Structure 1
């Protein structure tokens, strides 16, 4: 049954995504506002397909700030990349460079305002990310980053990449850790399963916290659902 659900979801989502993505350049002709709304529509279509074809529900806990913030999330699946856009109403998301190379989609992502970075963690890449983050924050948009650098399995708690600390310092925005357990039903590889994916927005951390403390607090906060499950 899960195999059938997964096939139906993929057919519905990817089949529907083709015209949506191809329309992105047209929406961009009318400005960044319409393009952002179009991207949010796409992420909500993803949520619709996950709910009705895969039987996946999203449960949100904690408080989402009403003002711009830096959101730092656990990363177990592509699911949260879509869902954070829908939950936060078109934030800027830090993406790996490989995704920006996808024809049409990559162009639309950059026009939307995604921050594209190399995963090599070089000083030049970090500076580029911080400048792009500052430009986004200056327009009043929130920024989302997944500091583990890649998707991890449930229970894995790797050290965080240093880029988020530089972004936190550069933006001078409140930081909101987000614990996510998507990998339980939406694994990196293999069949998806029906169930619940939780997004737990943690206590807001104000700007100005020192490096060691911010790393420790964020690492603990984004892994609270893993800890609760053990």
Structure 2
């Protein structure tokens, strides 16, 4: 059965996702709010497919903040890119520039309100990214960033990239680190497997820290469960932190 699960998931999720993305321009005609609702429906469908077809269950430790924040998350698989958008109610996502160039998908991502990062490191590109992130926070939207910049395997700890410190200074929002272990079931290289994954929302980090302090703190926290297998537990539902 475990060998059939990935086939069922990919057939159902990617099959309907093609139609969802193609219909994105039509949905966008009804405004950005309606378009983001469309994206959230897509993430809910992803969650349903992951649980019921792929056999992937999710446990939540800690809670997102009730208001906007800068979320800094570990990045191990495709799975969390959808789950975190769903959990955080359509935050602005910092996304690599090459993804924004994909036909239709890139247009839809821009319409959703992603923040594009240019890894060439040009000063003007970094300033533009910070302006967009600051505007998102001012509009009451959270911002999510994968500060290590790329997917990694269990146990790997790539260094934090410079964009984290810049965004931290620019948006003026508390930083909430998110540790996760999705590579256990959906590794960067290897088959999809059923099982339990954990998303751990850490305590918010206040504004005003130096670059070395914020980078070290976030790097430590997002790798908090990036180790040996953990025992399973009952699934929990997050509630806003007050």
TM-score (norm 1): 0.96
Whether the aligned pair in 2 keeps the contact of 1:121 and 1:163 (CA below 8 Å) is no
- The 3 A distance-change label for structure 1 pair 14 and 218 is same
Whether the aligned pair in 2 keeps the contact of 1:69 and 1:175 (CA below 8 Å) is yes
Q: Which residue of 2 is the match for residue 126 of structure 1?
A: 126
Cα root mean square deviation, aligned: 1.3
Whether the aligned pair in 2 keeps the contact of 1:72 and 1:176 (CA below 8 Å) is yes
Deviation at 1:47, TM superposition (A): 0.7
Deviation at 1:88, TM superposition (A): 0.4
CA distance in 2, matches of 1:113, 1:189: 30
Q: Which residue of 2 is the match for residue 36 of structure 1?
A: 36
Structure 1 unaligned regions, length at least 5: none
Deviation at 1:125, TM superposition (A): 2.5
Q: Which residue of 2 is the match for residue 69 of structure 1?
A: 69
Deviation at 1:228, TM superposition (A): 6.2
Whether the aligned pair in 1 keeps the contact of 2:154 and 2:227 (CA below 8 Å) is no
Equivalent residue runs for 1:186-205 within 5 Å: 186-205=186-205
Q: Which residue of 2 is the match for residue 84 of structure 1?
A: 84
Structure 2 unaligned regions, length at least 5: 231-242
Q: Which residue of 1 is the match for residue 104 of structure 2?
A: 104
Equivalent residues, number: 230
1:108-158: CA deviations, max 9, x gaps? 110110011222333232212101101211211000000111101110011
Whether the aligned pair in 1 keeps the contact of 2:181 and 2:197 (CA below 8 Å) is yes
Question: Which range moves more in the overlay, 206-215 or 1-10?
Answer: 1-10
Deviation at 1:100, TM superposition (A): 1.2
Q: Which residue of 2 is the match for residue 171 of structure 1?
A: 171
Looking at secondary structure, tell me which structure has more helix per residue. Answer: 1
Deviation at 1:189, TM superposition (A): 2.1
1:151-194: CA deviations, max 9, x gaps? 01110011100101100100000100000100111111221000
Whether the aligned pair in 2 keeps the contact of 1:182 and 1:198 (CA below 8 Å) is yes
Runs of 4 or more, structure 1, over 4 Å off, are 227-230
CA distance in 2, matches of 1:175, 1:95: 18
SS at match of 1:155: coil
SS at match of 2:158: coil
- The 3 A distance-change label for structure 1 pair 228 and 168 is farther
